[in-house]
Structure 1
Amino acid sequence: MQISKKDWMFIGVIAVVIIIFVAISGEEKTKRVPLDDKHKPSYDLFNKTQSKMEVDKGCPACHFEPGGVPFPPKHPVKPKDGPMRCLFCHKLKVSGLQKQ
């Protein structure tokens, strides 16, 4: 069986797609939620409820503009009216998720 020109083009397109996926995948760039005394209530709440949306409700108590813990200059814009969705990007550390 001979491979035609169309087949080689298809194989080439698939190879390019795979190369692109490998090129854009890599190390996670968003910061994880610190496992410290300030964030311990968030970890405890997650262990209790297993709900990231419930944990997100506590973030504005400290993280708000202006006056709260400052966001980095390149941090995406936060929603004005809706709830903050911090844990959509920021992940909890795995060691903090173990039930005790």
Structure 2
Amino acid sequence: MAIGKKDWIFIAIVGAVLLIFIAISGEEKTKKVPLDDKHRPSYEIFQKTGSKMEADKGCPACHYEPGGVPFPEKHPVKPKDGPMRCLFCHKLQK
């Protein structure tokens, strides 16, 4: 059974898709949640419930209230845009 022109085109497309995935996968650039006393409650909530959404509920107390830790200017999502989902991007350390 010979490989035809259409088969080669299909193989080339699959190869291109794989190369694109390899090219865009790289080092994780998002900052991890520090494992310190300030963030320990989030770690404890996550360990008890297994829910990142529950652990996210503690973030506004420090990161959104006036006088708290401000978001960087180029932070992609701010709380005014919707509910805080910090742990959607920021990972807990193991």
TM-score norm. by structure 2 comes to 0.89
**1:41-71 deviations in whole A, cap 9, x for unaligned?**
1111212222111111100000016532021
In structure 2, do the counterparts of structure 1 residues 81 and 28 end up closer, same or farther at CA, with 3 Å as the change threshold? closer
Per the TM alignment, residue 81 of structure 1 is displaced from its structure 2 partner at its CA by: 6.6
In structure 2, do the counterparts of structure 1 residues 81 and 75 end up closer, same or farther at CA, with 3 Å as the change threshold? closer
Structure 2 unaligned blocks of 5 or more: none
The aligned residue for residue 98 of structure 1 is: none
The aligned residue for residue 36 of structure 1 is: 36
The aligned residue for residue 69 of structure 2 is: 69
The aligned residue for residue 54 of structure 2 is: 54
Count of aligned pairs: 94
Per the TM alignment, residue 31 of structure 1 is displaced from its structure 2 partner at its CA by: 0.8
After superposition, the CA RMSD in angstroms is 1.6
Runs of 4+ that moved beyond 4 A: none
Structure 1 unaligned blocks of 5 or more: 95-100
The aligned residue for residue 17 of structure 2 is: 17
**1:12-56 deviations in whole A, cap 9, x for unaligned?**
111100000100111111111000111111111212222111111
The amino acid that maps onto 1:37 is D
CA–CA separation in structure 2 for the residues paired with 1:17 and 1:58: 40
TM-score norm. by structure 1 comes to 0.84
More moved, 13-22 vs 2-11: 2-11
